[in-house]
Amino acid sequence: MSSDSENTMTGRHTSFVTRMIACAKNPVLRIWCALHQIDLVVKSAAEELAGGEWIMFAWSFSIFLRAQANLITSMAVKCPKKMNRWTHLGRLLQFFKDHRRRIVAYAKTHRPEQTPTSAWWVITFAVSPAINAINVTFVILQNRSLLITQQEQHIHTLISSLVAMFCVEIVQENDDDAQYVSVGSMRILVDANVEHIRDQGSFMIACYNDIIHTVAMYAISLVTA
């Protein structure tokens, strides 16, 4: 059984392969392309971030903004909509960052319960650079002239950039973990995580204390997956 979404293959029917596997009595090995694997990792990491509350609010807030005709007219730009691929999340986060003051002021006036919290904004600014890095790799991997053997090199480059961005390192035996956020064999120095958040702008400095561990857990989940 094979599927690659072509009309002649089973993949053109939504969830067909998944349902086939659910019914199969024998074990089935599923192999996805590098692009789809990255997509799954981005999705999983986003859904686990802050217990899923961060991404749920991001999508609901985007729906709210897209329905505000007056705001769209005054800003001359419309909030990006949710796309099938999770790497498109980068466009949405960039929109939030670019128009933060305008959309916050509008939300406070027209629907206060839809106003993002300071913690939500810190996570958004901290996550956005990682999504942008993933998007660059995603575009490279879509190049039709790229050989399969070359994909691994670009994926390793992406992982290296994420490791450097969040200062992820391997846990060393007998080290004092008091100043680290650790998950399995990986950890992030708290001070390094603070610096990453500070680098996102002066607005971030005032409200980062409560979400340092949240951002660190997200970064490690991206790297280790």
β-pairing, 186-189 with 168-170?
A: antiparallel
Kindly state whether residues 24 and 86 are assigned to the same domain.
no
Kindly state whether residues 3 and 16 are assigned to the same domain.
yes
Tokens 């996570």 correspond to what residue?
A: 123
Tell me the CA distances in angstroms from 135 to 93, 149, 169, 219, one per residue in order.
12, 20, 23, 16
In the chain, the amino acid numbered 141 is: L
pLDDT in tens, 77-126: 999 987 766 667 889 999 999 999 999 999 999 988 889 988 898 889 88
Predicted confidence at residue 58, as pLDDT, reads 93
Number of domains composing the chain: 2
Predicted confidence at residue 133, as pLDDT, reads 92
pLDDT confidence tier of residue 12, bands split at 50, 70 and 90? low
- Cα separation, 109 vs 102, in Å, equals 11
Nearest CA to 225 among 194, 195, 183?
Answer: 183
Kindly state whether residues 61 and 94 are assigned to the same domain.
yes
Give the domain range for residue 149.
32-224
Instruction: Please give the angle made by the CA atoms of 46, 50 and 54, to the nearest 5 degrees.
Output: 60
